């Protein structure tokens, strides 16, 4: 009878298995799209967009469900037997556990996506958390800010995540929206947007454009909105100072950081121009190899007496070309300000390299307010400073000090052929001042003096607190204290090193042969063991 029933079945029943084949192919397609989407989100693959993959995902899932439904309609008896048979009974627990596990994963991911601020950021650079400087800028916004992100073909997911972090930390003062310049070219033209992926920040009648979606770029634009007025800082030249542009030894990173805070940074040759620009908020004298002349010092004195400010960084005499020539700038600082650049080199036994002076303590001051914990300052080959605190109308602060396990070495030839050691008769015992800030209550002039310039050079700027110390000093000298803590952080750059040939071989063997082989052998052993028992 069963044979007769099978013969009497319609011809199309022979092809119902094709629905299962289509369902299987759709499932494989859906899994492939999911994997591709994961690679796209992690920036390993960039050949398409998330929106396109989401559409393909819906198509694959739809075909899978439709194929299963068609098979169920065409073969109800087989489906019923599969659901109520012995295999279904024994496999139900595994299915329930799998569904429960997937449910936990889905719920966890949904909660993570909806509540990102409640999760701990365990990355080394805290790349998933806004920098304290950015949060401070957002919390002190004087007016509401609207971000208009112009995206057409680019994925908006990473930009949305970043903008949402800005919004959630702004106390309701930051909002954002997306505009497609292809469908709304008028808005893009009015905003002056010519490329894709740019973000315009609008505050009142002012606007700034971030070139792309990154915390650093958005914070730069935000700072320019908060402080729209131009601020000019000049680096003195003409005495062998390192360039403020890229070079072997330069201050290009310092320049770029100042420019990110809306400073205009230029060089100033007083020997050629014989005057100080009227817009100069501060003048930086960074590592002159030759002494600044009497005429230049006279101009600088007039500038400071009128309320200007200086940031002076002079290296120890042995690493300059000063020789025995007089130093008019050091004389001015000592006579008018009571700040003496000592003729020594700091030896710091607390440092791994004794010639690298390391700050052991910091005095409370606007410049040092964020130099705590790991934000120490290290200066390779520095000279110490001393102060005369009884100068009329002048307040002096020793900003950072070395430890007691240091001294100022005054005999520059003592280390030749012998080990350097402290001489109580000629050397200066620690702790020693590495930097001093001074303010004249009468003229409103300000100076910040360092016994080293290399700490602010490109090679050392990003080391611990070096960059912050220099930028904070310029901010304070220029009377821009409100900008001291608003310096965008730049995440570390990491390079992906692809596996070597033998590592690829191990990965290939493990994933293609070893793991599947273990699974197959386990199955064969289980089958053989059951056959022996049966």
For the stretch 122-134, pLDDT in tens is 555 556 678 777 8
**Averaged pLDDT score across all residues of the chain:** 82
With cut-offs at 50, 70 and 90, classify the pLDDT of residue 18: confident
Residue 242 lies in a domain: yes
Question: What integer pLDDT is reported at residue 417 of this predicted model?
Answer: 44
Phi and psi torsions of 381, nearest 5°? 60, 80
Phi, psi for 218 (deg, rounded to 5):
-65, -40
- CATH number of the CATH domain containing 298: 3.40.50
Q: Report pTM.
A: 0.62
Judged by average pLDDT, the poorest of 19-33, 46-60, 419-433 is 46-60
Largest CA distance in the chain: 120
Please give the pLDDT value at position 190. 85
* Residue at a domain's end among 195, 222, 249: 222
Task: Decide if 257 is inside a domain.
Answer: yes
Taking residues 448-458, what's their average pLDDT? 96
Q: Where are the alpha helices (DSSP H) in 42-146?
A: 50-74, 76-84, 86-114, 132-139
Tell me what pLDDT residue 156 has.
83
Q: Identify the domain boundary among 91, 118, 145.
A: 118
Flag whether 519 is in a domain.
Answer: no
Residue 496 lies in a domain: no
Quick one: which of 151, 215, 78, 168 has its CA closest to 490?
215
Whether the CB-CB separation of 250 and 286 falls below 8 Å is answered with no
Q: How many domains does the chain have?
A: 3
Q: Both 396 and 260 in a single domain?
A: yes
- 399: exposed, middle or buried (Cβ count in 10 Å: 0-12, 13-18, 19+): buried
Query: What local confidence, expressed as pLDDT, does residue 511 receive?
Result: 72
Q: Would you list the DSSP string of 175-187?
A: EEEEE-TTT-HHH
Residue 491 resides in a domain: no
Q: Indicate if 359 and 411 belong to the same structural domain.
A: yes
Instruction: Kindly state the average pLDDT of the residues 378-393.
Output: 92
Q: Are 21 and 149 part of one and the same domain?
A: no
Helix (H, G, I), strand (E, B) or coil at 56: helix
Q: What 3-state DSSP class applies to 519?
A: helix
Residue ending a domain, among 197, 222, 247, is: 222
Q: How confident is the model at residue 352 (pLDDT cuts 50, 70, 90)?
A: confident
pLDDT value at 491 more than 60: no
pLDDT digit string, tens, across residues 98-131: 656 666 766 666 566 555 555 555 555 556 678 7
Does residue 373 or residue 278 have the better pLDDT? Answer: 278
Give the structural domain span for 214.
Answer: 132-222
If asked whether residues 206 and 238 sit together in one domain, one would say: no
In this predicted structure, the answer to whether residue 432 has a pLDDT above a threshold of 90 is: yes
CATH of the domain at 216: 3.40.30.10
Cis previous bond, 431, omega within 30: yes
User: What is the per-residue pLDDT across 492-520, written as a single tens digit (0 to 9) for each?
Assistant: 555 556 666 677 667 767 776 687 778 77
Q: What does the pLDDT look like over 270-292, one tens digit per residue?
A: 999 999 999 999 999 999 999 99
Q: Which two tokens stand for residue 303?
A: 């500038």
CA-to-CA distance for 10 and 101, rounded, in angstroms? Answer: 42
**437 and 329: one domain?**
yes
**Number of neighbouring beta carbons within 10 Å of residue 31:** 11
Most confident of 60-64, 418-422, 455-459, 505-509: 455-459
How would residue 3 be classed by pLDDT, with cut points 50, 70 and 90?
Answer: very low
* pLDDT in the model for residue 40: 61
Residue 497, in any domain of the structure: no
- Judged against a pLDDT cut of 60, whether residue 532 lies above it is answered with yes
Residue 167, pLDDT > 80, answer: yes
- 285 and 241 assigned to the same domain: yes
pLDDT > 70 fraction of the chain, expressed in percent and rounded: 78
Residues 357 and 311 in one domain: yes
Same domain, 94 and 62: yes
Task: Please indicate, yes or no, whether residues 81 and 184 belong to a single structural domain of this protein.
Answer: no
pLDDT the model gives residue 412: 76
pLDDT band at residue 53, thresholds of 50, 70 and 90? confident
Residues 31 and 106 occupy one common structural domain:
yes
Query: Does some domain include residue 528?
Result: no
88-97 pLDDT, tens digit each: 555 556 656 6
Q: What is the pLDDT of residue 483?
A: 65
d(CA 236, CA 287): 10
Confidence of residue 415 (pLDDT cuts 50, 70, 90): very low
Top pLDDT among 75 and 8 is at: 75
Mean pLDDT of 245-253: 86
Residues 343 and 469 in one domain: yes
**What pLDDT score does 501 carry?**
66
Q: Which two tokens stand for residue 380?
A: 């390779």
Describe the strand order of the beta sheet including 198-203 as a list of residue ranges.
174-179, 145-150, 198-203, 206-210
Would you say residue 127 lies in a domain? Answer: no
Looking at the structure, do residues 149 and 79 belong to the same domain, yes or no? no
Range 241-259 average pLDDT: 89
Where are any strands of DSSP class E within 111-180? 145-150, 174-179
* pLDDT tier, 1 (very low <50, low <70, confident <90, very high otherwise): very low
Please, are residues 475 and 484 in contact by the beta-carbon 8 Å criterion? yes
């Amino acid at each position: 009878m069963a044979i007769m029933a099978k013969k009497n079945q319609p011809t199309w029943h022979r092809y119902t298995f094709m629905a299962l084949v289509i369902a299987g192919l759709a499932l494989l397609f859906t899994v492939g799209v999911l994997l591709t989407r994961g690679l796209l989100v992690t920036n390993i693959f960039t050949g398409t967009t998330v929106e396109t993959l989401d559409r393909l995902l819906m198509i694959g899932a739809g075909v899978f469900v439709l194929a299963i439904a068609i098979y169920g309609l065409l073969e109800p008896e087989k489906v019923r037997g599969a659901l109520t048979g012995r295999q279904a009974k024994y496999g139900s627990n595994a299915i329930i556990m799998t569904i429960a596990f997937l449910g936990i994963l889905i719920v966890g991911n949904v909660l993570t996506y909806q509540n990102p601020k409640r999760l701990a950021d365990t990355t080394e650079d805290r790349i998933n958390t806004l920098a304290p400087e950015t949060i401070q800028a957002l919390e002190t916004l004087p007016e509401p800010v609207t971000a208009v992100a112009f995206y057409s073909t680019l994925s908006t997911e990473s930009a949305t995540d970043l903008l949402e972090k800005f919004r959630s930390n702004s106390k309701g003062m930051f909002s954002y929206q997306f505009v497609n310049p292809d469908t709304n070219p008028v808005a893009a033209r009015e905003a002056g947007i010519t490329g894709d992926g740019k973000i315009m920040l609008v505050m009142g009648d002012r606007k700034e454009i971030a070139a792309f979606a990154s915390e650093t770029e958005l914070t730069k634009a935000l700072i320019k909105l908060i402080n729209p007025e131009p601020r000019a800082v000049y680096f003195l030249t003409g005495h062998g100072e390192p360039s403020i542009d890229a070079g072997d030894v330069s201050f290009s990173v310092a320049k770029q950081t100042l420019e990110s805070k809306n400073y205009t940074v230029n060089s100033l040759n007083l020997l050629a121009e014989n005057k100080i620009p009227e817009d100069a908020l501060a003048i930086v004298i960074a590592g002159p190899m030759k002494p600044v002349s009497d005429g230049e010092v006279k101009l600088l004195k007039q500038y400071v007496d009128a309320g200007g400010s200086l940031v002076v960084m002079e290296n120890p005499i042995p690493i300059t070309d000063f020789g025995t020539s007089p130093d008019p700038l050091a004389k001015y600082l000592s006579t008018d300000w009571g700040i003496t650049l000592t003729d020594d080199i700091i030896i710091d036994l607390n440092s791994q390299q004794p010639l690298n002076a390391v700050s052991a303590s910091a005095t409370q001051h606007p410049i040092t307010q964020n130099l705590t914990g790991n934000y120490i300052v290290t200066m390779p080959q520095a000279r110490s400073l001393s102060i005369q605190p009884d100068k009329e109308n002048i307040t002096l602060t020793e900003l950072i000090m070395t430890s007691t396990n240091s001294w100022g070495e005054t005999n520059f030839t003592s280390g030749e052929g012998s080990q350097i050691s402290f001489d109580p008769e000629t050397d200066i015992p620690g702790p020693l001042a590495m930097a001093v800030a001074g303010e004249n209550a009468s003229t409103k002039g300000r100076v910040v003096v360092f016994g080293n310039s290399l700490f602010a050079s490109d090679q050392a700027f990003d080391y611990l607190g070096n960059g912050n110390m220099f930028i904070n000093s310029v901010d304070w000298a220029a009377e821009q204290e409100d900008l001291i803590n608003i310096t965008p952080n730049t995440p570390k750059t990491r390079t992906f090193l692809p596996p070597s040939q033998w590592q690829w071989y191990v990965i290939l063997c493990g994933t293609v042969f070893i793991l599947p082989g273990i699974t197959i052998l386990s199955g064969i052993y289980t089958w053989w063991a059951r056959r022996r028992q049966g």
